[in-house]
């Protein structure tokens, strides 16, 4: 039995995320976790809310709440939505946890002992209007690299270039909108990433199976311009992990906290400690410490491309620089962006579908199927209502749902609500079994490789194979001349329903549960032996005709939703 540690990029606490955020990290991570569990492997799947830094403070201020209260409330909101999308986290933690606080301070101490922390006096933007230093994300302006007008003071979301606030053209405060900014001197701690460059380059070069998107972004940061730069790991903020050395405040760092991008990835490890402390598991070290049994763990991270630099460089620099035997990521699966109907998702303009709104419209499986089958792997992809309607109606309703309905209703009308006896499998049935065996092995290969779109295409082809068999075998015609042979055909088709439920579970878990309940079985064993899997439901086994597995989306609904989520025009 293999052991899989899986983490999804942790979402910011500031509000509800849109569908692009979902498909860029949490949803494909859940797909992989569910698949590995289905294969009988041991899985620890972790995610958390990212609660420190500027986004949390700004959102809390806007909501008129203390930041700690706001974060606690939004964590519950995000956890409930994650549950609604059937994201199967073993634990959904919080980066503001005491566990993360202690672990972050521990790593800083280890890095300092290793000579990888230096104190820097630097000039930082100060807002005279706001009466405070402005951390990177409190400042926005025009990117000097690509001209994007809403670049942040730490990074441009458009071109992913790492920035400092002083690099921005026409910078302004995101608190007050004031442009009355000036540079003032302040002290901060820097992680000496430049000393780790060669070690990081060798590590990244060893990852020959990583997506090109991942390695190209990492190498760009390592080699563009002056190469990998040292990076500040503290900020002038009230909310965050205090900068401590042992039990005392780090000299000269009074009133400062660790930078959110230093403590946030450390939360992956802390989340496993929270998992244990919550009574959900034991021995977190066997997942994270190579001296405690983590040598045989396969660690996979899922994230959008904007998060790649911190996970391929800064977090590994922290892990490697500590000198301690922590588990490094084995595979980093990164995604491009999902755009919305000719543009971008926009919270401020109410443009696009956000996770809570999606669940108000349709159950999770509808969204899971479309998002995963259109995952932005090799390039950005785009959500359109026409495509969504077509995919749901053709793939889920016409192919999978229609098969289930035709088989169960025909059997009920001719043989009753139990698997019929009689007949034998002939050439058509053997041909189907051979095709399914080939396709299921291909499906497994794509899932192991985390090729999300190819996995969905192969799964759909497996559904189609059953429909084509049913159409060619035509048990409704066979029944007129050879009822026993029709019984064998329907027996195979009923077993296909159970097989489809098992194979489809990572994509559409609610449908899997509904189909298994209709087939009145709890046997969700993986079809390592396809012929045996197609005889799992023996003659006489009772079933019920399920409700409609997937309903079609009407043109009126599509038009109504298209208008509802179009957003405000400029």
Rounded distance between C-alpha atoms, residue 395 and residue 569, angstroms: 33
DSSP string for residues in 306-330: GGHHIIIIIHHHHHHHTTS-BPPPS
Alpha helices in 67-182 (DSSP H): 67-84, 98-113
Count the neighbouring beta carbons within 10 Å of the beta carbon of residue 480. Answer: 9
Q: Given the structure tokens 């519950």, which residue do they identify?
A: 76
Average pLDDT rounded to a whole number, residues 87-116: 98
- Cβ contact 433:530 at 8 Å: yes
Rounded distance between C-alpha atoms, residue 334 and residue 336, angstroms: 7
Which of the four pLDDT bands, split at 50, 70 and 90, describes residue 347? confident
| Residues annotated within a binding site for Zn(2+) | 143, 146, 156, 159
pLDDT value at 137 more than 80: no
Count the neighbouring beta carbons within 10 Å of the beta carbon of residue 164. Answer: 16
| Residues annotated within a binding site for ATP | 347
* 138/455: higher pLDDT: 455
φ, ψ for residue 101, nearest 5 deg:
-60, -50
Token pair, residue 99, equals: 């566990």
Q: Catalogue the E-assigned strands of 322-473.
A: 331-335, 338-340, 381-383
Q: Say yes or no: domain 384-533 is CATH 1.10.730.10.
A: yes
Average pLDDT rounded to a whole number, residues 499-524: 98
Rounded distance between C-alpha atoms, residue 250 and residue 256, angstroms: 9
351 Cβ contact partners less than 8 Å away, ≥ 6 residues apart: 340, 343, 344, 345, 565, 566, 567, 568
User: What is the model's pLDDT at position 52?
Assistant: 96
Task: Indicate left, alpha or beta for 240 from its phi (over 0: left) and psi (-120 to 50: alpha).
Answer: left
Question: 362-378, pLDDT tens digit by residue?
Answer: 999 999 999 999 999 99
Query: Residue ranges per domain, the chain?
Result: 384-533
User: What is the model's pLDDT at position 570?
Assistant: 45
Beta bridge partners of 5: 44, 299
| Residues annotated within a binding site | 143, 146, 156, 159, 347
User: What is the model's pLDDT at position 198?
Assistant: 93
pLDDT value at 328 more than 80: yes
Rounded distance between C-alpha atoms, residue 526 and residue 524, angstroms: 6
């Amino acid at each position: 039995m293999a052991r899989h540690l899986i983490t999804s990029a942790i979402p910011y606490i500031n509000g509800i995320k849109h569908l692009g955020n979902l498909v860029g990290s949490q949803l494909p991570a859940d797909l992989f976790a569910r698949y590995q569990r289905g294969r009988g492997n041991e899985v620890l799947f972790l995610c958390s809310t990212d609660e420190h830094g500027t986004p949390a403070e700004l959102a809390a201020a806007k909501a008129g709440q203390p930041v700690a209260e706001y974060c606690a409330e939004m964590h519950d909101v995000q956890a409930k939505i994650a549950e609604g999308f059937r994201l199967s986290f073993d634990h959904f933690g919080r980066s503001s946890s005491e566990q993360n606080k202690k672990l972050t301070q521990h790593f800083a101490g280890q890095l300092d002992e290793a000579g990888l922390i230096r104190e820097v006096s630097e000039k930082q933007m100060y807002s005279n209007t706001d009466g405070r230093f402005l951390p990177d994300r409190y400042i926005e302006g025009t990117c000097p690299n690509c001209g994007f007008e809403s670049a942040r003071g730490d990074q441009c979301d458009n071109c992913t270039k790492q920035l400092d606030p002083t690099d921005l053209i026409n910078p302004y405060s995101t608190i007050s909108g004031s442009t009355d900014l000036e540079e003032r001197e302040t002290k901060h701690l820097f992680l000496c990433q430049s000393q780790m460059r060669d070690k990081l380059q060798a590590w990244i070069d060893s990852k020959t199976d990583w997506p090109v998107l991942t390695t190209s972004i990492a190498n760009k940061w390592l080699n563009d311009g002056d190469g990998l730069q040292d990076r500040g790991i503290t900020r002038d903020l009230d909310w965050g992990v205090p900068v401590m050395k042992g039990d005392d405040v780090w000299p000269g760092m009074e009133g400062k906290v660790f930078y959110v991008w230093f403590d946030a990835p450390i939360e992956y490890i802390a989340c496993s400690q929270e998992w244990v402390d919550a009574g959900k598991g034991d021995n977190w070290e066997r997942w994270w410490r190579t001296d405690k049994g983590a040598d045989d763990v396969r660690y996979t991270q899922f994230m959008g491309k904007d998060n790649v630099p911190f996970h391929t460089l800064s977090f590994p620099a922290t892990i490697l620089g500590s000198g301690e035997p922590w588990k490094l990521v084995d595979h980093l699966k990164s995604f491009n962006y999902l755009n919305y109907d000719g543009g971008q998702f926009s919270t401020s303009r109410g443009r696009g579908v956000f996770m809570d709104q999606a669940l108000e419209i349709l159950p999770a499986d509808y969204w899971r199927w479309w998002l995963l089958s259109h995952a932005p792997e090799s390039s950005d992809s785009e959500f359109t209502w026409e495509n969504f309607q077509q995919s749901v109606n053709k793939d889920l309703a016409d192919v999978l749902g229609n098969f289930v309905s035709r088989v169960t209703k025909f059997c009920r009308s001719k043989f009753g609500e139990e698997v019929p006896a009689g007949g034998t499998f002939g050439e058509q049935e053997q041909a189907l079994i051979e095709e399914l065996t080939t396709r299921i092995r291909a499906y497994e290969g794509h899932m192991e490789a985390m090729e999300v779109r190819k996995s969905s295409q192969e799964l759909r082809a497996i559904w189609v194979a059953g429909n084509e068999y049913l159409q060619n075998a035509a048990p409704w015609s066979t029944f007129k001349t050879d009822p026993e042979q029709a019984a064998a055909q329907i027996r195979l088709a009923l077993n296909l329903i159970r097989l489809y439920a098992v194979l489809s579970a990572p994509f559409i878990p609610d449908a899997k549960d509904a189909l298994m309940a209709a087939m009145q079985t709890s046997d969700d064993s993986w079809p390592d032996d396809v012929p045996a899997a197609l005889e799992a439901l023996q003659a006489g086994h009772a079933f019920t005709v399920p409700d409609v597995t997937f309903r079609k989306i009407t043109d009126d609904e599509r038009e109504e939703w298209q208008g509802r989520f179009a957003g405000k025009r400029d």
